[in-house]
Chain A
Amino acid sequence: MPPKSIALIGAGGIGSPAALALCEAGVRDLLVVDEDRVELSNLHRQLWFEQEDVGSHKTEAFARRLGDRYPGTRVVAVDDRALPHNVLGIMARASVVLDATDNYASRFLLADAAHLAAVPIVHAAAVRWQATVMATAARGKPCYRCLFEDLPAGPVVDCATAGVAPPVCGVAGAIAADRVLRILAGDLTAFAHIVTYDGIADRLRSVPVAPRKDCPLCGSKPKIGNISRSRYTGGVCGV
């Protein structure tokens, strides 16, 4: 194991199966970051939580259950959200970041912070029956902003109404864990692709992604050199 932790940002529908896959593969050092409490509506896809956990801090229940199943595992629970004021501190403790967050602002924040801190990152997302996973090397390109540029402007479908199918979260979590393990193994083929999964058509694709010269994060003249709060306002969960 590397000296730093795998930082799992988001202990929800994707973070849960990702942690299972990572621990089954031998990972024994996790930093889990989430500010939410367990809700009844989480239980159908967030497999570490039981009904008795409803109302508890997610990270607390997550760490306890992981510790029970994998004795000797160090799970550091951070009952907070990754925000501009603390994100670089999280990066400093991470060997790889797994972004399993549920909103665009967090995704762009993590992408920027990981790049600035030279930490590899895996972004995994799911909504309805679709999932995407993309990994970026430390200071690598293409990055998340090469593909998605910036927070969506204008109305987007809210995740709370769109919903997400639990098996799709499982697929996204498993692929994300696979990418983390490949990064730890030094496998460069983990990068420069986005994996898309369509749970209705049962279609899994890996699409090559090219770096963008004018990317504000990893391009030839980067504009993002620090973490500025104003850059992450707006944009809510959804598509």
Chain B
Amino acid sequence: MSVIVRIPTPLRGHTGGQDEVTVDAGTLAEVLDALDGAHPGIKSKLVDEKGVRRFVNIFVGDEDIRFMDGLGTAVADGDEISIIPAIAGG
């Protein structure tokens, strides 16, 4: 399945400035692995040993993966994955 991952600006240092990355995966866990394979280090910003970091939110389309199957959430061809981290500046 080819899915689009939208990269928030705080993480674009890992993607060479790209605001979206396309990866092939069947689950969200595979999405993050593929993302990290292409852009090493980015996965550790999003997950830790307990799962998705508590100040990061990941959405498949408009659905928060917390209310789906977490990292096991299945993704379909053409899905858009959004990453929304907590930010605190102003």
A residues sitting closer than 8 Å to B (CB atoms) are 10, 12-15, 100-104, 106-107, 124-132, 147-153, 157, 159, 162, 164, 169, 172, 194, 196, 198-201, 205, 207-210, 212, 235, 237-239
Contacting residue for A107 out of B57, B59, B88, CB 8 A: B88
B88 to chain A, nearest CB (A): 5
A-B contact count (CB 8 A): 107
- Complex CA–CA separation, A42 to B85 (angstroms): 25
Given contacts A152-B55, A209-B64, contact A172 B82 (CB under 8 A): no
| 11 A-B residue pairings within 8 Å (CB atoms) | A15-B90, A100-B90, A102-B88, A147-B86, A149-B54, A153-B54, A162-B89, A164-B89, A194-B84, A210-B64, A239-B85
Interface centre among A126, A129, A149 (most CB of B within 10 A): A149
Q: Is the CB of B54 within 8 A of A150?
A: yes
- Complex CA–CA separation, A125 to B89 (angstroms): 5
Q: Is the CB of B9 within 8 A of A198?
A: yes
Contacts of B57 in A (CB 8 A): 147-148
A149 to chain B, nearest CB (A): 4
- Give a binary string over B51-90; 1 marks a CB under 8 Å from any A CB, 0 the rest: 0011101010010101100000000000000101111111
Q: Is the CB of A126 within 8 A of B89?
A: yes
Q: Is the CB of B84 within 8 A of A104?
A: no
Given contacts A150-B54, A201-B19, A210-B67, contact A132 B87 (CB under 8 A): yes
Contacts of A198 in B (CB 8 A): 8-9, 19
Interface centre among A102, A124, A239 (most CB of B within 10 A): A239
Q: A127-B10, A130-B10, A162-B89 are in contact. List 11 more A-B contacts (CB 8 A).
A: A12-B90, A107-B86, A127-B87, A127-B88, A128-B10, A150-B55, A172-B90, A210-B64, A210-B67, A212-B66, A237-B89
B residues sitting closer than 8 Å to A (CB atoms) are 8-11, 19-20, 53-55, 57, 59, 62, 64, 66-67, 82, 84-90
Q: Is the CB of B90 within 8 A of A124?
A: yes
- Complex CA–CA separation, A195 to B62 (angstroms): 12
B44 to chain A, nearest CB (A): 10
Contacts of A127 in B (CB 8 A): 9-10, 87-89
